[in-house]
Amino acid sequence: MRVHIFEYGVIRVDPWKLLKLTLEKTRMQNAWRLHESINLIASENVMSPLALKAYLSDFMDRYAEGKPFKRYYQGAKYIDELEVATAEFIASMVRAVGVELRPTSGTLANAAVFRVLAEPGDKATIAPVQAGAHVSHTKFGTLGALGIKQVDLPYDEENMNVDVDGAVKIIEEVKPKFVVLGGSVYLFPHPVRELADAAHSVGAKLVYDAAHVFGLIVGGAWRNPLEHGADVMTASTHKTFPGPQGGLIAFTDKDLYKKVSKTIFPWFVSNHHLHRIPATAVTAVEMALKGREYAETIVRNAKTLAEELAALGFKVIGEHLGYTRSHQVLVDVRDLGRGAKAAKLLEEANIIVNKNLLPWDPPEAVKDPSGLRLGVQEMTRFGMGRDEMKQIAELIARVLIKKEEPEKVRKDVIEFRKNYVKVRYTVEGDLDTMLDLLQ
Ligand SMILES: Cc1ncc(COP(=O)(O)O)c(C=O)c1O
């Protein structure tokens, strides 16, 4: 077959070479990250085979701009029905008056809510970065892009959380349009009730970003902010909630629900990647049936991992508070080559983590912070429990404390992982229970 070689600047580009590279790297990625590594990235998870099946459908190739049953395109009757049913199901799980599934990511969910609640020039108070704020809550991210001014709430070092008294004072002084709680790096629940009361007393709304803990919330292992005064909750659908990559918004305030719904299209998404919806529906059903057990095991595993790491000599953050109540564990690796080097060494051993700022790090330290963030939700989904957390802690210690060659540890990681390749907490083989519960 004749092969066309394209010219790209001075580079000659061979299409067959790209195709070969694509297939090869995809195969390698699947083997590496699904079968040969210990994945501890706290923002990731895997879908069940059934959700994956639902994901790979014709919906993936279609458009459905606008709201269900009011689309700008024909051919949307099935997605209309499915989107409404899935939103209602998830709304009932979190006691919301409405759920929006159209934001294609957590960041876009935040953008839609922030934009409706404030005009450019208005103020928002946010949990400080030390208490886990995500970049989208800040002037460097979505908040800044929308022209909304960021006012940080104070941090309480002892409780590793937002300082409630100081925060109430600032909310009363600043009178923001909204207050943001929830975050990316947090071990303990933020004080929703106290700050919701303060926000409401000055006419502000409380936005809770549950991107990380949404699965723990629906599984009952983390306080549901909507039952503690939050007006709206944004989330990713792919972290502790193990669905397809995407976002959602859940509301307790019907007016806000209507206002935000009007803006998602056309302000933030055109098409909303329809194949996410059936996969999210399958995941929601799985979480309704198995979420409690899954979420409780995640939190127990995170605590065990923290304790085991500490017993092996690591400086694990939050000992005086019981280390963690989420899926995350934070480790101070300042004495072990700092975050960047430690994360790289672990990657060479097929243990995948991310370097992370710790509460005392200045923002400039982002490229080489003092910590590592470890999340256990994905390994839990593959059936790991306390014993496995102990083994993971030992593998990490061999690389970072005993300074063994990562290649040597990698062999043992690959061997270890062989027993944990099946996704658990799913409904396969459990259809009878599912049908009973769904009646
Ligand atoms: C608290 C928080 N909010 C929002 C996001 C953004 O979510 P997404 O990656 O779905 O845009 C993240 C991502 O990790 C996050 O941690």
d(CA 227, CA 274): 30
Pocket test for ligand 1, best of 104, 107, 135, 142 (most atoms within 8 A of CB): 107
pLDDT of the residue at 439: 45
- Protein residue with its CA nearest to atom 8 in ligand 1: 106
pLDDT of amino acid 351 = 98
What local confidence, expressed as pLDDT, does residue 207 receive? 98
201 contact partners, CB below 8 Å, separation of at least 6: 172
Q: What is the pLDDT of residue 91?
A: 98
Atom of ligand 1 nearest to the CA of 110: 4
CA distance 336 to 40: 19
CB 42, CB 375: distance < 8 Å: yes
pLDDT at 262 exceeding the cut of 60: yes
pLDDT in tens, 351-362: 999 999 999 998
For ligand 1, what atom is nearest to the CA of residue 246? 10
| Average pLDDT of the segment spanning 261-285 | 97
The closest-lying atom of ligand 1 relative to the alpha carbon of residue 183 is 1
Contacts of 354 by beta carbon, 8 Å cutoff, 6+ apart: 41, 42, 343, 372, 373
Give the pLDDT confidence score for residue 4 in this predicted structure: 65
Task: For 338-381, write each residue's pLDDT tens digit.
Answer: 999 999 999 999 999 999 999 999 888 989 999 999 999 999 99
This prediction has a pTM of 0.95
Q: Which residues line ligand 1 (CB under 6 A)?
A: 43, 105-107, 110, 134, 136, 182-184, 209, 211-212, 236, 247
Q: How confident is the model at residue 432 (pLDDT cuts 50, 70, 90)?
A: low
- For the chain, what are the domain ranges? 52-284, 292-417
The per-residue pLDDT for 10 is 66
CA of 103 to the centre of ligand 1 (A): 12
pLDDT band at residue 430, thresholds of 50, 70 and 90?
A: low
Residues 6+ apart with CB under 8 A from 196: 179, 206, 228, 229, 230, 231
Percent of residues, the chain, with pLDDT higher than 90? 92
* 234 CA to centre of ligand 1 in angstroms: 9
Per-chain mean pLDDT for the chain: 95
As a whole number, mean pLDDT of residues 193-220 equals 98
Q: Can you give the chain as a three-state secondary structure string?
A: CCCCCEEECCEEECHHHHHHHHHHHHHHHHHHHHHHCEECCCCCCCCCHHHHHHHCCHHHHCCCCEECCEECCCCCHHHHHHHHHHHHHHHHHHCCCEEECCCCCHHHHHHHHHHHHCCCCCEEEECCHHHCCCHHHCCCCHHHHCCCEEEECCEECCCCEECHHHHHHHHHHHCCCEEEECCCCCCCCCCHHHHHHHHHHCCCEEEEECCCCHHHHHCCCCCCHHHCCCCEEEEECCCCCCCCCCEEEEECCHHHHHHHHHHHHHHHCCCCCCCHHHHHHHHHHHHHHHHHHHHHHHHHHHHHHHHHHHHCCCEECCHHHCCCCCCEEEEECHHHCHHHHHHHHHHHCCEECEEECCCCCCHHHHHCCCEEEEECHHHHHCCCCHHHHHHHHHHHHHHHCCCCCHHHHHHHHHHHHCCCCCCCCCCCCCHHHHHHHHC
Q: pLDDT tens digits, residue range 7-34? A: 667 677 888 999 999 999 999 999 999 9
For the CA of 210, the closest atom of ligand 1 is 1
Residue 436 has pLDDT above 50, yes or no: yes
| CA–CA gap between residue 389 and residue 398 (Å, rounded) | 14
pLDDT at 75: 98
Segment 147-162, tens digit of pLDDT? 999 999 999 999 999 9
Fold of 52-284: Aspartate Aminotransferase; domain 2 (3.40.640)
In the reported structure, the alpha carbon of residue 381 is separated from the centroid of ligand 1 by a whole-number distance in angstroms of 20
Nearest residue to 249 via CA among 266, 222, 268:
268
| 232-245 average pLDDT score | 98
Query: If pLDDT is split at 50, 70 and 90, which confidence band does 213 have?
Result: very high
Crossing angle for the helix pair 276-311 and 431-438, nearest 10 degrees? 110
As assigned by CATH, the class of the 292-417 domain is: alpha beta
